Every structure is written in structure tokens, then in C-alpha cells.
Amino acid sequence: AMDAAPTPPSPAGLSAYVAVSQLLGLTLLATTGAWLGRYRGGVGWHSPLQFNAHPLCMVLAMVFLQGDALLVYRVLRHEAKRSTKALHALLHGLALLIALVGIIAVFESHRAKGIPDMYSLHSWCGMATFVLYLLQWFLGCGFFLFPGASFSLRALYKGQHIFFGITLFILSITSCLLGITEMLLFKISDSYSHFVPEGILANTLGVLLVAFGLVVAYVLTREEWKRPPLAEELALSMDFKTLTERESPGGGS
């Protein structure tokens, strides 16, 4: 029997940028934990520290996991398309669950302390992003993962799905930046302008969020780094094209 063809190497530079993205992602998670642990007392549930679960969950879910879910199609270049789709949907689903925990934490914390909900720009942008992200996940599963949508409908929706995926990632990072600024102004408004250590650490977290977003966006927008179609995917596309041409009025017999 003939040996299987060797797996083509990843494009030059792709692995390095993906590695940098993961290093930045882990660093921003560690920085979030250090900020909350060193200056905000840590994280608890059904306690005065419950609110702190909110920033931790949102950074983990809506930035790090969402970013990794977007990178799946660049990293898994030669695996079966359906397996890649399943992992993509699974990471987004996990991000949604963790983000939901973060949203519950902030609402319960506000209720316990008598703080009003949904009045700030951060809360408006954050909730809108979460709701649209949930809708994007349901539509993505319906069109691409579960059977039912036709090939033509998938092709029609694919461009919108990609655009809104990147847009929601940007909105998620923007909402986190707004949240960091809001939290600093609430907690250390009197000393923030004096370059206190907590303010510097939180600002560093903001810079890391932007850096992570830029690296992920760069990987996603490099045309030569897109996932190449496998042989069976090309065969399916050709079969569909042949079928539609035969069924069209100007097609063959």
C-alpha cells in the first residue's frame, strides 16, 4: 500500500503569530487575575467579592476563548472540515457559558448592594455584544454544523458570518476596555491620575487586550494564511456546481 501523502507545512510565519497570540492571551488572563487578587480582594460567589467574577469571566470568555475559536480555521488546516467546525462551535459555546456566569455575577452583586443595572455605556455595549454573540452562535450552528441548510444558503451566509464574527470580537475587546476604565474610575478615582500601581496594572491589561486583538485580527486577515480546501471539499464543490449547471435553463443536458 502507498504511504499517505505528507501533511504540507504551515505557511511561513503563521505558527509564530499563533504562538504570540497564545502568549498574549495567557498573559492577559494572568494580569486580570493579578489585578483582582492583589487589589480587589480576589473572587468569591455570594459574597462581597462576587462582582470580581465578572471581569475574570468576560476576559476569559469573550476575548481569549472567542479569539481562539476564530483561530481554529487557521491552526487546524488539514483536519476534516466537520471536526474543525465542531471545535469552532464548541469553543464559542464554552465562551457563551462562561460569559453568562460573568453576567449573572454582576447582576447578583448589584442586587445585593442596591446598585442599579444597565445604565452605563459599558453595560449597554457589553449586553448588546453578548446577545449578538449568542445569535451569531445559533445561526452559525444552524447554517454550518447541523444538517438542514442547503449548500447555496451556506455560501450566501458565509460572508456575513465571517464579518460579524470579527466585528463581535472587536466589540468584545472594546466592552472590556470600557469596563476596565469604569471600574478604575469607581474604585480609585481620587488616585488614578497619580499613576498608582493598580491603575498602571489595569492599563497594562488594556494594552494586552488590544495587542491580543490585533494579533488575532492580523492572522485572520492574511489571505495566504486561510485554510486551504481539502480534496474532498473541492470534489463536493465541483459536484454542486455541476448539479446546478445541469438544472439551470442554460446548463448542459
Domain residue ranges of the chain, discontinuous segments joined by +: 43-228
DSSP type of residue 248: S
Rounded distance, CA 209 to CA 230, Å?
A: 34
The pLDDT assigned to 150 comes to: 76
Question: What is the pLDDT confidence band of residue 148, given thresholds at 50, 70 and 90?
Answer: low
Among 15-24, 81-90, 227-236, the range of highest mean pLDDT: 15-24
Q: Which of 175, 195, 199 is nearest to 185 (CA)?
A: 199
pTM: 0.88
CB burial of 190-227 (b: ≥16 within 10 Å; e: otherwise) equals eebeeeeebbeebeebbebbebbbebbbebbeeeebeb
Report the pLDDT value the prediction gives residue 152, as an integer from 0 to 100: 82
Q: What is the residue-wise DSSP string for 81-106? A: HHHHHHHHHHHHHHHHHHHHHHHHHH
Whether the pLDDT of residue 123 is over 70: the answer is: yes
pLDDT at residue 91, as a whole number: 98
Q: Average of pLDDT values for 56-78?
A: 96
Whether residue 59 contacts residue 36, with contact meaning beta carbons closer than 8 Å, is answered with: no
pLDDT tens track for 5-60: 556 667 889 999 999 999 999 999 999 999 999 999 999 999 999 999 999 999 99
Alpha-carbon distances of 136 from 56, 76, 167, rounded to whole Å? 23, 22, 11
Indicate the CATH number for domain 43-228. Answer: 1.20.120.1770
